[in-house]
Amino acid sequence: MIITALVTPYDEKGKIDYKKVDELLSFQEINGVDGVVLFGSTGEGMLLSMYEKYRILLICKKHKKLKMIINVGSNNTMETRKNIKRFSFFKPYAFLVVTPYYLLPNEEGIIKHYQCLEEYSDFPMIIYNVPSRTSIDLSLETIKKISKFKNIIGIKEASKNRYKLRSLSKLNSNDFMVFLGNDEMFVREDNEIDNIISTLSNVIPNAFISKDIDKINKYLEMTSLGGNPQMIKEIMCQKGMIRRDMRLPLIRLSEEKIYRVKKMMEEIK
């Protein structure tokens, strides 16, 4: 399953460009991806108001071929429950729920966090393990325990640990889907996981669907120049898809890096 972590486009005044949102969703739908994640780190979800999120969700609902996955996670269990209640109206395919960052709960606390949420939700949930952003790395044993909860249907695993990914691939099934959370892991020769929640599929969805490893690798070379969503927005900007702007505290790439991306893009063409 190919899922795109959708970016959030802005206009020249820093407001969300809802027309562009619709265009980006149409692009994903036409190119045949399975769905989109809304309001993740790629989509600058923590920088959007509730009103803005509602408007984006209303647009997304029109694109019926796309599975809608809504990021509702926070480090506050009760606040995450409120988000689940707020967004259940849109009847998502699933909610994406990141591990509770900053507070550094122990294993029992993390398990109870997800148990409390999955029992509360009327819709399936995908857990999100991203150690680089949360300082928490779910162990295999913890993931196995959480995977047994009725409403937990999968995990987005952003670890680069090959052993862990090989072990997780054995859990991958119709009842519990394992999604890669890093584009570079998708192209590794030893990768056994086909599901991915991708950033680069904002630009090259067909490459992920057809597993065009050479093309993906060419774009991956650029991503080392900056973070996310800075890099994907710059690439999309140079392709004429959106503006490169972001909201503070995020800022665009330096002029020197913008020039380097431009030269690399010219080589790809």
Tokens of 116: 């409390």
Query: How is residue 32 written in tokens?
Result: 């045949």
- Sign of the torsion formed by the C-alpha atoms of 228, 162, 108 and 155: positive
Q: How many Cβ atoms are within 10 Å of 173's Cβ, its own excluded?
A: 10
Catalytic residue annotation: 128, 156
Give the E-state strand segments of 189-269 in sequence order.
196-198
Three-state secondary structure call for residue 191: coil
Question: What DSSP character marks residue 202?
Answer: G
Residues paired with residue 180 on neighbouring β-strands, in sequence order? 157, 196
Residues 6 or more apart whose CB falls under 8 angstroms from that of 199 comprise 5, 42, 183, 223, 228, 229, 232
Going through the chain in order, the beta strands assigned E by DSSP cover: 2-5, 35-38, 67-71, 94-98, 125-129, 152-157, 177-180, 196-198
Rounded to whole angstroms, the Cα distance separating 164 from 170 reads: 10
Instruction: Confirm if 40 and 5 have CB atoms less than 8 A apart.
Output: yes
Burial of 198 (0-12, 13-18, 19+ CB in 10 A): buried
